Structure 1
Amino acid sequence: MTIHKEGYTSIAIVVLVIFMANALVHYFISGSTFVVWTTYLLSFLLLVAVLQFFRNPRRRIITDDHTILCPADGKVVVIEETEETEYFHDKRIQVSIFMSPVNVHINRNPVSGKVSFFRYHSGKYLVAWHPKSSTLNERTSIAVRTATGKEVLFRQIAGAMARRIVWYVEEGAAVTQGEEFGFIKFGSRVDVFLPLGAKVDVKIGDKVSGGLTILGRFDQ
């Protein structure tokens, strides 16, 4: 397992803060063994927490033009028919995945194809499970058209802790199923909008893995 490139700056800042905090404790409170060892323990726990957040585990991803892969690690919190009003302007099946701070936060393309739509929206930072976070929070919306003409839209949504959405795609670009398309820092959500004829292979409450779990399948 490696550390994702998006974590380099954050990890460097955390290491600097830990170094300064420990130096101050040693300078001003060196006589208190309890305070010194408590600082050591908290410093260690903070570093481990940040390192695990930015972990980048190796995954063997199997591509299949008939399947829609899960774009993120987390828990399925929404499966419903809804009106998608930004791009499709019709009814779609929405599947939403909540990513807690302990999940891997790499986002992966659910299908292969060409990016037919991309938009970034600045916005609020409501908790990721809030019903209006999909339309009010900072977010990106990305639609990919497959070689067979089917389209899937997926949306990165910042949460109350997430303050930075990163994306690596642009409109017109070719993308491959399972490859990284972005990253969201510290707690977030990803919505996926599938065609009405698609078969959903997950249920609410399921824990899913980006690039590994099959979210659904296109109708034949």
Structure 2
Amino acid sequence: MSRWFAPGTWWYAFPLLVAAGPVMWVWPSVGAGVALAGIAVLFFHRDPDREIPEAGYVSPADGTVSVVREEDGRLRVGVFMNVYHVHVNRAPTPGTIQDTTHVPGAHRPAFSKESDRNERLHVDFPEYRVTLIAGAFARRIHPHVETGDAVERGERIGHISFGSRVDVLFPPSVTRSDLAVERGDSVRAGETVLANA
């Protein structure tokens, strides 16, 4: 489905854009700043369509691969989203969501080791897990799916307002030789293949 912005964007942007007019009459520079803040909110929450490949685990997020590590025999790949990236997150493969779990926590910078204790949302598929992680400035994780939903590869599953990182914990069958990316690579949600498995 084509749309311009992630759901709920106008709750953030509309008050700023409405307030900008009256404020500009009294304090032009302040009003201009408020208007720019509203435009920035729209930019942060943009939601473009993507060309989805037919196979592989696609990236759940736009950004830079910041984590590639093994945990108990499974690979974890994390994608850090900067302020200029699209913040809508997508399903790596087709499947039915088995569970969604919100875990409260801190709001450390998403590129740091301390972010492992940040607020997060686990989206569990039958064989793997996607985790949306809030960062230093991100305060809201917005799921678009719930337990029992069937999704296609590259389908939107949620977004994080103003940040921050999304991880994929692959099934044990995915090995390092299957990975198509490495740390530092730029990726696009729903388009870049993370693993050919």
After TM superposition, give the deviation of residue 132 of structure 1 in Å.
3.2
Deviations 1:162-216 (A, max 9, x none): 1100112222322211111101001210011113432111111111100000011
CA distance in 2, matches of 1:92, 1:209: 23
Q: In the alignment, is residue 14 of structure 1 matched against residue 16 of structure 2?
A: yes
On the 8 A contact 1:78/1:96 being kept in 2, the answer is yes
- Give the alignment's Cα RMSD to 1 decimal: 1.8
1:11-160 matches, within 5 Å, as: 11-25=13-27, 36=28, 38-39=29-30, 41-64=32-55, 67-83=56-72, 91-134=73-116, 136-145=117-126, 151-160=127-136
Aligned to 2:5: 3
- In 1, Cα distance between the equivalents of 2:37 and 2:144? 28
> What stretches of structure 1 of length at least 5 have no aligned partner?
26-35, 84-90, 146-150
Moved segments of 4+, more than 6 Å: none
Structure 2: stretches of 5+ with no match in the other structure: none
User: Which of 141, 153, 158 pairs up with 1:165?
Assistant: 141
Q: TM-score under structure 1 normalisation?
A: 0.80
Counterparts in 2 of 1:3 and 1:118: CA distance versus 1, 3 Å:
closer
Structure-2 separation of matches of 1:171 and 1:40: 43
SS of residue paired to 1:19: helix
Q: Is the 8 A contact 1:61 1:212 kept in 2?
A: yes
Given that 2:109 and 2:136 are in contact with CA atoms closer than 8 Å, whether structure 1 keeps it comes out as yes
Conserved in 1, the CA contact under 8 Å of 2:75 and 2:171?
yes
Task: For 1:7, give the aligned amino acid.
Answer: T
Q: What is the CA deviation profile of residues 56-109 of structure 1, one whole-angstrom value per residue up to 9, with x for unaligned ones?
A: 112222332xx10100101100111123xxxxxxx2101000011111010100
8 Å Cα contact 1:111/1:144 also seen in 2: no
Contact 2:13 2:39 in 1 (8 A): no
Whether the 8 Å CA contact 1:53–1:101 is kept in 2: the answer is yes
Secondary structure of the residue aligned to 1:124 is: coil
Contact 1:75 1:97 in 2 (8 A): yes
Of 95-104 and 171-180, the range deviating more from structure 2? 171-180
Residue of structure 2 equivalent to 1:185: 161
TM-score (norm 2): 0.89
Which structure features the higher share of strand residues? 1
> Which of these two proteins has the greater Rg computed from alpha carbons?
1
Aligned residue number for residue 30 of structure 1: none
Amino acid of the structure 2 residue aligned with 1:212: E
> Number of residues paired by the alignment?
192
SS at structure 1 position matched to 2:98: strand
Cα distance in 2 for residues equivalent to 1:3 and 1:168: 13
